[in-house]
């Protein structure tokens, strides 16, 4: 399937709202950065429909469909295969940036940072806990302890090192959020739709995202060729520029992973799974054997997992003019350790291209087109 890589760059501040209601007098709208992939998928599909001359009102009613986008009830082959915060390099290439994987902990003391990896550790049977898997993600610390540092992003070079099982160099592989964007407080005014003017006493505040120069979002689209142009991106229809780009996507060594018969699975987008924190394809978790995993030609046992607190994804369905159903998701950056892996390099690569979806859900679930349940493999 043909892949289209592009770079989305804001023309102004962005209004990227979370799933919390706001707009009442005196309310505060908190920004969500980075936004869920559905924000980009909606902007790209709308742009594609307009470019192809599809009447959006008829599309929303289900009167017409598009061979690539599909219809409001059934998604087409369009799939947002990747959506990452990114920055433009001096040579013009786009470098994607990733949330720090959940099996990495960054400590800082006297201005010096060090990165420590959680180890999938089999604990003594006398040690009881709520973990339902045979191995626990353990952090080995010395006598001096400190709180972990947050607000960091992993460069593409850093992710390549992580995929290969190499050490992360703090000064080379980590980027602070403050280097990528700033938050600005903005005042909004509620409007009276009937009088077509500002409504009395309806002032509210919200956060706006001001991206630094050269910072935007890298996207990869499968199943459709998306032309360059202007997008309505995020809340308030803020403008963004979409351009074709050469994106430096990291790739794992599928041959080495297949031969090793074990791997780590990293979520690169939020995962909406039937079993909550366990990915699609996983069976019931057992504290002795782990959770069996079988999906699209890849089999194994999940023996350990590092999954941060779940997040809630929702959004607004413009076609039906109503909020989307709120769903809990495992955050991007969640890590799963898999042993007894049975998969060819081709099967591993195919699962990355399809995402963590069953055949039935791949055909009918609109969240597939929106870029959820994406993954990448790494050495274990």
346 in a domain, yes or no? Answer: yes
Same domain, yes or no: 194 and 234: yes
User: What's the number of domains the chain is made of?
Assistant: 2
pLDDT of 31: 78
Residues 292 and 236 in one domain: no
Of 186, 219, 244, which marks where a domain is finished? 244
Predicted local distance difference test score (pLDDT) of residue 21: 59
CATH of the domain at 342: 2.60.40
The yes-or-no verdict on residue 26 having pLDDT over 70 is no
**216 and 69 share one domain:** yes
Nearest in space to 140 (alpha carbons), one of 162, 124, 117: 117
Domain-located, residue 103 = no
pLDDT at 23 over 60: no
Pairwise pLDDT comparison (122 vs 336), residue with the higher score:
336
Q: What is the structure's pLDDT at 17?
A: 76
Report whether pLDDT(20) > 70: no
Last residue of a domain, one of 222, 244, 266: 244
194 by Cβ neighbours in 10 Å (0-12 / 13-18 / 19+) ranks as: exposed
Same domain for 264 and 238:
no
If asked whether residues 218 and 272 sit together in one domain, one would say no
Whether 204 and 334 map to the same domain: the answer is no
User: Would you place residue 19 in the very low, low, confident or very high pLDDT band (cuts 50, 70, 90)?
Assistant: low
Question: pLDDT digit string (tens) for 79-103?
Answer: 999 999 999 999 999 999 999 999 9
Whether residues 329 and 234 share a domain: the answer is: no
Per the domain annotation, does 262 fall within a domain? yes
Whether 214 is in a domain gets the answer: yes
Q: List pLDDT tens digits, range 302-346.
A: 999 999 999 998 887 777 778 888 899 999 999 999 999 999 999
Q: Is residue 115 domain-resident?
A: no
What pLDDT, on a 0 to 100 scale, did the predictor assign at position 320?
78
Asked if residue 34 is part of any domain, the answer here is yes
Whether residues 265 and 334 fall in one domain: yes
Residue 67 lies in a domain: yes
DSSP 59-103: HHHTS--BTTTB-SSSB-S-EEEEEEEEEE-TTS-EEE-EEPPTT
Displacement of CA 351 from its chain's centroid (Å): 16
3 state SS of 218:
strand
What does the pLDDT look like over 233-269, one tens digit per residue?
Answer: 988 788 999 999 999 999 999 999 999 999 999 999 9
Residues 42 and 190 in one domain: yes
Q: Is residue 172 part of a domain?
A: no
Residue-number span of the structural domain to which 287 is assigned: 254-378
Residues 6+ apart with CB under 8 A from 148: 105, 106, 107
Do residues 226 and 262 share a domain?
A: no
SS3 call for 167 = coil
Q: Please check whether residues 93 and 66 belong to one and the same domain.
A: yes
Percent of the chain's residues with pLDDT above 70: 96
b/e burial code for range 146-156 (CB count within 10 A of at least 16 → b): eeebeebbbbb
Judge if 187 and 65 occupy the same domain: yes
């Amino acid at each position: 399937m043909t892949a289209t890589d592009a770079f989305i760059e804001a023309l102004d501040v962005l209004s990227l709202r979370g799933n919390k209601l706001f707009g009442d007098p005196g309310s505060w709208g908190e920004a969500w950065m980075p936004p869920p992939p559905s924000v980009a998928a909606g902007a790209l599909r709308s742009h594609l429909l307009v470019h192809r001359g599809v009447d959006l009102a008829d599309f929303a009613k289900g009167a017409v469909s598009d061979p690539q986008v599909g219809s409001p009830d059934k998604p087409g082959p369009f799939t947002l295969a990747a959506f990452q915060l990114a920055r433009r390099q001096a040579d013009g290439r786009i470098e994607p940036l990733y949330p720090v994987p959940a099996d990495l902990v960054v400590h800082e003391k006297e201005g010096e940072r060090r990165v420590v990896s959680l180890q999938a550790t089999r604990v003594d049977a006398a040690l009881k806990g709520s973990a339902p898997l045979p191995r626990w993600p353990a952090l080995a610390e010395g006598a001096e302890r400190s709180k972990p540092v947050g607000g960091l992003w992993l460069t593409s070079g850093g992710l390549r090192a992580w995929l290969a099982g190499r050490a992360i160099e703090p000064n080379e592989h980590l980027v602070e959020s403050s280097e990528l964007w700033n938050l600005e407080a903005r005042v909004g005014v509620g409007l009276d739709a009937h009088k077509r003017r500002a409504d009395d006493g309806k002032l509210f505040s919200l956060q706006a995202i001001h991206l630094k120069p050269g910072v935007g979002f890298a996207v990869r689209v499968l199943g459709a060729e998306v032309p360059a142009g202007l997008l309505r991106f995020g809340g308030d229809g803020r403008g963004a520029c979409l351009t074709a780009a050469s994106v430096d996507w990291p790739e794992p060594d599928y041959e080495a992973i297949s031969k090793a018969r074990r791997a780590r699975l990293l979520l690169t987008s939020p995962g909406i799974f039937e079993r909550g924190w366990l990915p699609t394809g996983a069976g019931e978790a057992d504290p002795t054997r782990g959770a069996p995993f079988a999906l699209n030609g890849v089999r194994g046992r999940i023996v350990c997992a590092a999954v941060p607190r779940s997040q809630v994804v929702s959004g607004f369905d413009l076609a039906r003019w109503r909020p989307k159903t709120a769903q809990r998701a495992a955050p991007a950056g969640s890590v799963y350790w898999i042993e007894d892996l049975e998969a060819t390099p081709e099967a591993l690569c195919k699962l990355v291209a399809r995402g963590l979806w069953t055949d039935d859900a791949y055909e009918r679930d609109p969240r597939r087109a929106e870029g959820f349940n994406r993954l990448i493999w790494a050495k274990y």
